[in-house]
Structure 1
Amino acid sequence: MCRHIAYLGPDVPLGRILTEPPHSLYRQSWAPRRQRNGTVNADGFGVGWYAPGDPVPARYRKAGPIWADPSFTDLARVVRTGALLAAVRDTTDGSAPDESATAPYGEGSWLFSHNGAVPGWPGSVADLAADLSAEELLGIEARCDAALLWALILHRLRAGYALGDALAETVTDVAARTEARLNFLLTDGSSIAATAWGDSLWHRLDPGRSVAVASEPYDDEPGWIEVPDRTLLLATRDRIETALLKEPPV
């Protein structure tokens, strides 16, 4: 499993969201409070952020634990952004151990993270790869379940799907084949789409100013709301919308 977070709002240092709060993503790497599977997220970390005037985010990813990289703490102190997606990783068995398998994944303006696992991967979902072209298959960034899920979602995004629809249809397809945990987080820098499917998801909205969507609250301040399981969430700085995800056929 993993922990992840997306933020939209006023420009702030990365550390204001990721390292400074008492239960920040940094601390969740060794002491998550609401993680249902796994205990330590020390197999990698990453953050993607958007700079003013550039729709393509930068990414900083490492294969080791976040607490072992003092350069990141220094970077997070000075780099400012109004939109980010970050994650700490607990590796799925059989997955690549290097930073290529560490979220966020990205293409163009999109950033993506998966908190969960796909039992029986890759065999349990191998038939879904038939929807991908040879170029898309060869372009999968890493050997892990999250990278394949990202390829399936990216295929839909390239075809013109809205962020939420791309996530929802992928959840339905995968859940019909295996008892997967599929908490997705996806942003284009101006909106966030997320799914709660098998693990915790929370959000906090300050309408017209900021929104955070995360595996768990990074502080104990009021305003955090837990998202029910089997839910699709769509968020902007102005509003939160939720809808039940379609259950796979029995």
Structure 2
Amino acid sequence: MCRWAAYRGEPLYLEELVSSPAHSLIEQSHCATRAKTATNGDGFGIAWYGDRPEPGRYRDILPAWSDCNLKSIARQIRSRLFLAHVRAATGGGTRRDNCHPFVHGRWCFMHNGQIGDFEHLRRPMESMLDNDLYAARTGTTDSELLFLLALQFGFDRDPLGAMAEALGFVERLAEQMERPVLVRFTAAFSNGHDLYAVRYASDQKAPTLYAAPMGENGGYCLVSEPLNDDNAWAEIPDGSAVVVGENGVDVRLFRAAEVAVRERLTVVPAPLAAAGNLQLN
């Protein structure tokens, strides 16, 4: 399982999550304490928002603990909103295109979890994408494809609703293809204004998610596991969504949408799917 950390609030140096704390994200890359595997050495990435609408990003396939550039960048860059991730691959090769966060336009996304039997679901999932989003897929992970599905289902209009539809579609697709229904999903995503996170699993075994105030004037940090032993960290329950915005933090119930796949799916090229061969109710 991967580990990640995200922040929204007054500008902070990235090192305050990535490298400085006692149990920083770099520390978690080789010594995670609340995951099935302690080592998350299959690459890393950071995405941060500055003066432009789209985020900056730095990713590499080296383990986070061995990349001196990561520590240097984290020490110099300040941001009011950033996401950072260390990867333990459950699918997809160790290559830069498979490292989180994923970016499309002003959106960025990172994920900890998995889709069961993904290799059998991948092609019909890809067929739901329009031509532009299909062409935007550069890696091979289930995480990136879930991100693109959520964009397809209306991230700009309703981020949490689009994510609920994307997860619901995957679950119904697995049912219809007579495959095991297994989605484990703890993710963070942002449009540069608000920070969102979701903790959800179809088997009630979602990867961990914690939150704590950080900095001044309502800043908040969301993490896979606490960065220190401070009692401020609160565990976010399974089946929850978190929104960190100008008015602070809001935690609400979350579940996958009841998306109906109208008929048994046949794998078709993305252009045909975009033309209407595959439809949602």
Q: Structure 1 length normalisation: TM-score?
A: 0.90
5+ long unaligned stretches in structure 1: none
1:22-81 deviations in whole A, cap 9, x for unaligned? Answer: 11111111111211x333110010000111x32211000001101111111111111111
* Larger Rg computed on CA atoms: 2
Q: Structure 2 length normalisation: TM-score?
A: 0.81
Q: Spell out structure 1 runs of 4+ moving beyond 6 A.
A: none
Q: Distance in 2 between matches of 1:135 and 1:11?
A: 33
| 2:198 match | 195
1:112 aligns with 2:115: no
1:139 aligns with 2:139: no
1:91-131 deviations in whole A, cap 9, x for unaligned? Answer: 123x1321111011012221100101112112135333332
* Distance change in 2, residues 1:115/1:172 (3 Å): same
- Paired residues, what number? 245
- Following TM superposition, by how much is the alpha carbon of 1:199 offset from its aligned partner in structure 2, in angstroms? 0.7
Mapped contact 2:8–2:244 kept (Cα < 8 A): no
Q: Distance in 2 between matches of 1:31 and 1:224?
A: 19
1:185 to 185, 188, 194: 188
1:161 aligns with 2:157: yes
1:232 to 228, 241, 255: 241
Percent identity for Structure 1 against Structure 2: 27
After superposing the two structures, state which structure 1 stretch, 15-24 or 128-137, moved more. 128-137
Mapped contact 2:164–2:257 kept (Cα < 8 A): no
1:89 to 87, 90, 95: 87
**CA root-mean-square deviation:** 2.0
- Following TM superposition, by how much is the alpha carbon of 1:146 offset from its aligned partner in structure 2, in angstroms? 1.2
Q: 1:83 corresponds to which letter in structure 2? A: L
| 2:212 match | 204
Q: Distance in 1 between matches of 2:171 and 2:199?
A: 13
Q: Distance in 2 between matches of 1:26 and 1:141?
A: 26
Mapped contact 1:21–1:218 kept (Cα < 8 A): yes
5+ long unaligned stretches in structure 2: 175-180, 201-205, 260-281
Mapped contact 1:105–1:112 kept (Cα < 8 A): yes
